[in-house]
Amino acid sequence: MTMPIDVKAVRSGLTNDGYIVVRNAVPTTLCQAVLEAIGHELDIWIDKPSSWERVSHEIDQVPLWGHQCQWNIRELSDLHAIWSTVWGTERLWVDRNSCRFTPPWQPGRADALPLHWDVDPRDREQQWYQGLVALTASPAGCGGFRCAPGVMGNRDRWPDDWMTTSYGTEYRPDLVGEDETIEVSLDVGDLLVFDHHLPHGTVRNLGDQPRAVFYLQMFPTGTPEEAVANIADHNAGIAPPWWRWKPGHDRVEPGPPARLSHQGRRLLGMEPW
Ligand SMILES: O=C(O)CCC(=O)C(=O)O
């Protein structure tokens, strides 16, 4: 462990603001490797604007989850130390989530994600922390993360019912003014962790460069049955079942599964903590 962690700042940031940013949590070279893998596997390149046209609403979420370069990031001990502070336990698994690549906005290209929750904030049984690693810099106005901290713990502002869509329930806060949202600028390698009660989304990318992130969250270990399923999916190169409805996420990733370190095997549930 090389990165000092201010435990109080982590706790108070998550409680008061709903999110924390850990600067330089991931070396730039490892972030660059994920961008290159997105290029080689999906032919979407940061420095090749003609390839951005492939990115639309549909493949805005890049179907790449099991690549070695993603595991090289998941296995970083610094990241595990941060997530252990968030959860108060080191016995964690990591999700096998994918990336997002948002080119500069034009009609027909992916737009901002509206403010939403991914989990019903009123469900008292649930507590999640979500996270992402910035693969590119996202200064203000360039497609980055935005949120409404004032609505986070404010149950009076949570709707009584939700909209249902073809793929599930959309948890959207109604009537949150622009002046209630803030945008969080990130640099390459920064880790953002947020409480699932925080309404969040993105801003439209009005810059001239794509914005890319790698979604990464750790969470307390699950059941032996869940471990068996995770390992089987990892070995088969397939996405977690709850992501397979997303365009491109029904594919089988080419090549053998990523080789996991001891830490990686614990994070997948192959070995106990
Ligand atoms: O990419 C982002 O910054 C936000 C992603 C998001 O809305 C989500 O993970 O639910």
- Angle, vertex CA 95, rays to CA 125 and CA 195, nearest 5: 45
Residue 47 domain flag: yes
| CATH number for 208 | 2.60.120.620
- Which ligand 1 atom minimizes the distance to the CA of 192? 3
The pLDDT of residue 54 is: 77
Residue 221 domain flag: yes
For ligand 1, atom 3, the nearest C-alpha belongs to 145
For ligand 1, atom 7, the nearest C-alpha belongs to 201
The pLDDT of residue 47 is: 96
- Out of 145, 146, 196, 203, give the residue to mutate to test ligand 1, the one with the largest number of ligand atoms within 8 Å of its CB: 145
Residue 209 domain flag: yes
Centre of ligand 1 to C-alpha 200, Å, is 7
Select from 102, 111, 98, 109 the least CA-distant residue to 44.
Answer: 102
The pLDDT of residue 168 is: 74
Select from 195, 95, 189 the least CA-distant residue to 137.
Answer: 189
- Answer whether 0.75 is exceeded by the pTM: yes
- Out of 215, 216, 217, 242, give the residue to mutate to test ligand 1, the one with the largest number of ligand atoms within 8 Å of its CB: 215
Residue 101 domain flag: yes
For 20, the domain range is 7-268
Centre of ligand 1 to C-alpha 201, Å, is 5
The pLDDT of residue 166 is: 72
- Out of 102, 132, 196, give the residue to mutate to test ligand 1, the one with the largest number of ligand atoms within 8 Å of its CB: 132
Q: Which residues line ligand 1 (CB under 6 A)?
A: 100, 113, 118, 130, 132, 145, 200-202, 213, 215
Amino acid making up residue 258: A
- Which ligand 1 atom minimizes the distance to the CA of 201? 7
DSSP per residue over 46-108, as a string? Answer: TT-HHHHTT-STTTSEE---S-HHHHHHHT-HHHHHHHHHHHT-S-EEE----EEEEPSP-TT
Residue 273 domain flag: no
Q: Identify the three-state secondary structure at position 169.
A: strand
Block residue for tokens 């409480």? 195
CA distance 132 to 102: 14
CA distance 143 to 137: 10
Domain count, the chain: 1
Tokens representing residue 236 in the block: 């088969």
- Out of 19, 142, 200, 203, give the residue to mutate to test ligand 1, the one with the largest number of ligand atoms within 8 Å of its CB: 200
For ligand 1, atom 8, the nearest C-alpha belongs to 201
Amino acid making up residue 126: Q
Amino acid making up residue 122: R
CA distance 271 to 273: 7
- Per DSSP bridges, beta strands 191-195 and 182-184 are unpaired
Residue 146 domain flag: yes
The pLDDT of residue 174 is: 77
Centre of ligand 1 to C-alpha 50, Å, is 25
Residue 2 domain flag: no
The pLDDT of residue 86 is: 98
Centre of ligand 1 to C-alpha 118, Å, is 9
- Which ligand 1 atom minimizes the distance to the CA of 130? 9
Low-confidence ranges of the chain (pLDDT < 70): 1, 56-59, 167
Tokens representing residue 139 in the block: 């200064």
